[in-house]
Amino acid sequence: MPRTRRHIDRDTKRTQLLDAAERRVLEGGYGALSLSALARELELAQNSIYWYFASKDALFVAVLERLLERIVIPAKRRQTNAVAWVLRVLDQLAELQSVRASAHERAAKSEVVAAFEARFRDLVYDLLKKAFADRLPPGQLDLAVRTFVATADGAFSQGLEATERRRITRFALQKLLDSAP
């Protein structure tokens, strides 16, 4: 029987919801995120989830933001070697590829998820521009970032083994950065 669990503060309940939702999303993407199953697991009334998240999509985005934060915060503390740094971030994103694919699919139907995807894309472009800025002239920076993102997306979408994906992205990255005048 669902409980109100008034003895647990709002932030703790929200964290418990995010923890449970994250496990489900990592196991099976958006499709595995069942609000009724979450409510049962946490012994909550299903409607109480809406006190914390406006919709299933809002909960999904909160999970995506949480996962991304674990990559982005350390990524902002970039090392001097741009190639190694970018490849390390790509390896971390590769671990979330099925979740990213699920988000991309859901973005076609949800403004909330589409807005997250746009923020994610802008963040990736911004991080790459900062990583490449000292290696490329400003006039080539945007094109180099777009070229590299297209290469990395292609390597991800082909489902390549990690070693082959790394080989391709390292090659593209080194050629882009070494070709600067």
pLDDT tens digits, 126-149: 888 988 888 888 899 999 999 999
Domain with CATH 1.10.10.60 in the chain: 1-53
Give me the pLDDT at residue 87, please.
Answer: 85
The residue assigned the tokens 């390597």 is 155
Give me the pLDDT at residue 16, please.
Answer: 93
> How far is residue 129's CA from residue 137's CA, in Å, rounded to a whole number?
11
Class of the CATH-defined domain 58-178: mainly alpha
pLDDT along the chain (181 residues), means of 10: 58 92 94 93 90 95 93 69 82 87 94 96 89 88 94 89 92 84 58
Count of CB atoms situated within 10 Å of the CB of 175: 12
Report residue 143 as tokens: 């094109």
Q: What is the pTM of this model?
A: 0.84
Give me the pLDDT at residue 1, please.
Answer: 44
Report residue 146 as tokens: 């777009």
Q: Which fold has domain 1-53?
A: Arc Repressor Mutant, subunit A (1.10.10)
pLDDT in tens, 45-59: 889 899 999 999 999
Nearest residue to 59 via CA among 4, 15, 121:
15
Helix (H) / strand (E) containing 1: none
